[in-house]
Amino acid sequence: MSELSRSREAFRAYLLRMAEDADLAIAFASAYETMNGEERDAQLSVLDEELATLDVPAVAVLGPLFAVEEDLERRAAIAARLPSPLSTTMVSFATKGAPRRLVLAERVYLDFIGATVVTMNETLACTRVPLTRLADLEVLLAAELTATPLEAIIDELAEAVVRMVRRAPPPRELLRHASLFNVASHALAVTAVAS
């Protein structure tokens, strides 16, 4: 067996294990995230070939890549490769005590989430965590997260955006969730464009 054949078989075995091993999927997505656009396109082409012959759900391999991909065109291309749309299930959490943090998260696959963490201070500070697990996010934030109804989180964020919009534009990271805000989404979009 040639070196190329052995490498391909190892890669295929890795892809198969990603369906059940969150750590492998996170590592794969992290490696993908370091690639430039041309390398990402090439990786997606290779994955198209491999997924056509592997017995692994496409979402197990492509879901983590979708979560870290920021290019809208490439995100749409990844989503189009999936047999059905990625889950848009939103979950939300909040911390108790100071600093107050609100988390808007999308379930990606298995126990993966993509999260936007908003720290409530005089201004809103946002951090995007494209791919993680809830337990890892709690470790990262050094805080326990409590499941909180999405509507309550949106109301609290909308009030904060309205209070601060005259002083400073809201963080661009909130634009990912602007559609959740109804009327407030207009303020988010207008102030982000103005900044």
Q: Where are the domains of the chain?
A: 3-80, 90-194
Mean pLDDT over residues 20-32, rounded? Answer: 87
| Nearest to 81, CA basis, from 105, 60, 103, 111 | 60
For residue 19, give the DSSP letter. T
Share of the chain above pLDDT 90, in %: 24
Mean pLDDT over residues 68-82, rounded? Answer: 86
Tell me the per-residue pLDDT of 106-161, one tens digit each, with 9 for 90 and over: 877 767 788 889 998 877 888 888 778 888 888 888 888 999 998 898 888 888 88
Mean pLDDT over residues 25-50, rounded? Answer: 94
The residues with which 93 forms a beta bridge, in sequence order, are: 103, 147
As given in the structure block, the two tokens for residue 108 are 């990606």
Phi, psi of 166 (to 5 degrees): -75, -25
Tell me the per-residue pLDDT of 87-116, one tens digit each, with 9 for 90 and over: 557 888 999 888 899 998 887 776 778 888
Angle at the Cα of 130 from the Cα atoms of 174 and 48, rounded to 5 degrees: 125
Model confidence band, residue 37 (pLDDT cutoffs 50, 70, 90): very high
Cα 86 to Cα 104: distance, rounded to the nearest angstrom: 17
Laid out side by side, the sheet with 100-107 consists of 124-133, 112-120, 100-107, 90-94, 146-147
Model confidence band, residue 85 (pLDDT cutoffs 50, 70, 90): low
Mean pLDDT over residues 186-192, rounded? Answer: 40
Q: Is the pLDDT of residue 187 over 60?
A: no
| Nearest to 121, CA basis, from 75, 89, 168 | 168
Model confidence band, residue 182 (pLDDT cutoffs 50, 70, 90): low
